Structure 1
């Protein structure tokens, strides 16, 4: 058995539900850049609690790390639909679309995230996508109105 085969045991704290424990373990794995292992923890927890936005957010993060962009987009679109002011999900959806070269689709999400946060990194993402659209000779939907 190699060290790559080792999966840490789930952490269970007194009074926590399975979902809370799964969230902690999956978050730790994602911080350590272990998305496959995080998904192995998240999927059973989501089978028990499929509406958990916290677990679904972590699953979207894992999909992004694994470059499973279609799955990430679907998860993030659902999260944004349910909670339009979820800044992280909004920005991550824009990034997932950008990484799929769907720049015109990404731009509104990135712009909204930048406006909501004031974060310079979010503003840079907007400028990057706007520049790429301009270089391609494309215009965003917002430019047409």
Structure 2
């Protein structure tokens, strides 16, 4: 990010996302996206705001862009998996969360993976 104003806008958008105010965060983040769209941190923040505002396809695109820019970003894979899960794309969600858990074996990640596996089992049992 180039300008001090851009950095300030990014920080303000982070605060707004943390406060679960995604629409305000996205308005604040607009100029930052214009200036620094190829920064993984900017795409990740936008993806989180899109996810919190149920703009799931936009969230998916933002998280995929983060992974394109930084394939080792385990958190982007985790939230991409959550986004896919909310879209009902359970097998794709499982693949992303499983990879995130392999990259970063955190108990919270493993819990999410277990949740997706249980959901897949319920769906398969009902078939």
Q: TM-score, normalised by structure 1?
A: 0.79
The alpha-carbon deviation at position 99 of structure 1 amounts to: 0.7
**Map of 1:97 onto structure 2:** 84
**Map of 2:67 onto structure 1:** 80
Give yes or no for contact 1:91–1:109 (8 Å, CA) kept in 2. Answer: yes
C-alpha root-mean-square deviation of aligned residues, in Å?
1.7
Aligned runs of 1:54-133 on 2, under 5 Å? 54-133=41-120
The alpha-carbon deviation at position 48 of structure 1 amounts to: 2.1
**Greater gyration radius:** 1
Unaligned stretches of 5+ residues in structure 2: none
Cα distance in 2 for partners of 1:18, 1:90 equals 29
Larger relative contact order (Cα-Cα within 8 Å, sequence gap ≥ 6) = 2
Structure whose residues are more often helix by fraction: 2
Is 1:40 aligned to 2:21, yes or no?
Answer: no
The alpha-carbon deviation at position 19 of structure 1 amounts to: 2.4
**Map of 1:26 onto structure 2:** 13
The alpha-carbon deviation at position 16 of structure 1 amounts to: 5.4
Runs of 4 or more above 6 Å deviation? none
Q: TM-score, normalised by structure 2?
A: 0.89
Cα distance in 2 for partners of 1:117, 1:54 equals 18
* Deviations 1:38-85, CA, capped at 9 Å, x for gaps: 101111221122212222111101001101111101111111122111
Unaligned stretches of 5+ residues in structure 1: 1-14, 139-145
**Map of 1:8 onto structure 2:** none
